[in-house]
Amino acid sequence: MKGDFNMLEITVCVGSSCHLKGAYDVIKRFQRLIPEYGLKDKVELKAGFCLGKCTEAVTVKVGNEYFTSLTPDEVENVLKAVKKKVLERSNIK
C-alpha cells in the first residue's frame, strides 16, 4: 500500500471527453480551494485516465464515490462533501 492511509484521494479525469469539457479548469479550482477548506493534508489530488463515464464529463472520483458533469463552479460543493467525509473519518478513530 502506498501513500498515507488516511488521505482521501480525489481523482479528476483528464481523458479526452473530460479534457474537452474543462477538466483542467476543474483541477485548478480544486488546487485553489483545497487549502481554503483546510484539506491540504487530508486529500490527495490526482489526475487520472478515463473513469468510464465519458458522457457525463467532467468526472471526478472521491474515494469510492463519483461526481459527474462537474463544472469548476461545482467544485466547492464537492469539497463540502469531502470535508464532511474527512470529519466523519476522524470521528470514527
The three-class DSSP label of residue 82 is: helix
Interaction between residue 59 and ligand FES (CB under 6 A): yes
Helix-helix angle 75-92:23-36, to 10 degrees? 50
Smallest gap, in angstroms, from Cβ of residue 60 to ligand FES?
A: 9
- Compute φ and ψ for 69, nearest 5 degrees: 50, 40
Q: Most distant CA pair in the chain: distance in Å?
A: 41
Residue 18 within binding range of ligand FES, rule CB under 6 A: yes
54 binds ligand FES (CB under 6 A): yes
25 binds ligand FES (CB under 6 A): no
The piece of 13-21, 27-35, 39-47, 69-77 that touches ligand FES (CB under 6 A) is: 13-21
Taking the alpha carbons at both ends of the chain, their separation in whole angstroms is 20
Binding site for ligand FES (CB under 6 A): 13, 15-18, 50-54, 57, 59
